[in-house]
Amino acid sequence: MDKLTGLIAFVRTADLGSFVAAGRALEVSASAVGKAVVRLEQELGVRLLQRSTRRVSLTEEGRLFHERCRRILDDLEDAQAMLSAAMQQPRGRLRVSAPVVTYHLLLPLLPEFLAQHPAVELEVDFNDRLVDLIDDGVDVALRSGVLPDSRLVSRPLRPYRPLLCASPAYLAQRGVPGSVQALAEHDGIRFREPNAGKLQEWTLGDGTADAGVHLRRTLVFNNMEAVRGAALGGLGIGHMPDFLIREPLAHGALLTVLEHETPPGGRFHAVWPSSRHLSPKVRAFVDFLGQRLAGD
């Protein structure tokens, strides 16, 4: 148990940045926390923390050890939950990773989820980086497209449809394209995928990627929110998922073009590590998304 006490003291200190804060969180003295960390460092034969008069910080070895310890403690928390009478109530920190664009899908739903599960501490990272759920300690991620990682379990969520749209001011000045070929007279706003580094394909007409798409000038962003902002600003025609532009379309700030040429798009999935016990908090969140973002 001494080693476990040392691990807990080390992780809390690293998370909070001081022995005093860690002691307060663990309801022990700062001195007791410091001694537990020192014993752990002596057992390991390596310095984990750099001390100063005001703050402690992780050494490089400490940073690597902290990542593993955090996962160990998370697994321990899940194991305790399985054996606890309170297992049926989801509780604890839930780490979720999602593409930036899904902010528009998730944010309206989160108040309801938190109201249903007040003991859950939700931590959402909106980032287009493709995280490794196991190595990065992520409980659930939202992803679209192909899911090649066999270590993950997935649940399909709602499909989405990409739409071409532009501002009324832009279309009034440049005209409304009547065909895919007519896009050659227009400025395009393109999205470059941060992970793959390639331009997002515009699937139009017969379903062939970028079939017949020739734009007079292209503006490229690696953030879909920027694509949306540029379209609202009248800089050209953008290709965006329907949920991202629902409000601008409803208020007339954006108008769709060539809607008959844009076939159905992809689908989001909720994914989580298959090697880990499906804790109550993960199950609750996945079931909630499945209900609120039901796939057709």
Average pLDDT over residues 264-293: 82
Section 138-153 average pLDDT = 76
Answer yes or no: are the C-beta atoms of 89 and 77 closer than 8 Å.
no
The average pLDDT across 273-291 equals 82
Q: Do domains 2-83 and 92-157+268-292 have the same CATH topology?
A: no
Farthest CA pair distance, the chain: 74
| Rg (alpha carbons) of the chain, rounded to whole number | 24
Q: Across the strands, what pairs with 217?
A: 187
For CA atoms 33, 35, 36, 37, give the dihedral sign: positive
CATH number of 2-83: 1.10.10.10
Q: For domain 92-157+268-292, which CATH number applies: 3.40.50.620, 3.30.56.10, 3.40.190.10, 1.10.3720.10?
A: 3.40.190.10
How would you list the strands of the sheet with 217-221, edge to edge? 217-221, 187-191, 237-241, 162-166, 255-257
Tell me which architecture the domain covering 162-261 has in CATH: 3-Layer(aba) Sandwich (3.40)
Name the least confident of 88-97, 233-242, 287-296: 287-296
**Mean pLDDT for all residues in the chain:** 84
Confidence category of residue 16, pLDDT binned at 50, 70, 90: confident
Closest Cα to residue 19, out of 62, 61, 52?
52
Flag whether pLDDT at 132 surpasses 90. no
- Asked if residue 197 has pLDDT above 70, the reply is yes
pLDDT at 149: 60
Q: What are phi and psi of 183, to 5 degrees?
A: -65, -15
* pLDDT at residue 94, rounded to an integer: 92
Higher pLDDT, 206 or 94: 94
Query: Which pLDDT belongs to residue 170?
Result: 95
Q: How many residues does the chain have?
A: 296
| pLDDT single digits (tens) 180-192 | 888 888 999 999 8
pLDDT tops 80 at residue 77: no
Q: pTM higher than 0.75 for the full model? A: no
CA distances from 215 to 14, 103, 105, 167, 184 (A): 51, 29, 30, 17, 4
Instruction: Examine the pLDDT at 99 and tell me if it is beyond 90.
Output: no
- Which of 5-9, 107-111, 129-133, 186-190 has the weakest average pLDDT? 129-133
- Average of per-residue pLDDT across 95-120: 90
Taking CB atoms within 8 Å and a gap of at least 24, the contacts of 27-36 are 33/9, 36/2, 36/5, 36/6, 36/8, 36/9, 36/10
Question: What is the per-residue pLDDT for 146?
Answer: 63
Q: What is the pLDDT of residue 85?
A: 45
- Residue 67: the pLDDT is 87
Percent of the chain whose pLDDT exceeds 90: 25
Please give the average per-residue pLDDT across 10-34, as a whole number. 87
Domains of the chain, residue spans: 2-83, 92-157+268-292, 162-261
pLDDT bucket at 230, cuts 50 / 70 / 90: very high
Antiparallel, parallel or unpaired: β 162-166 and 255-257: antiparallel
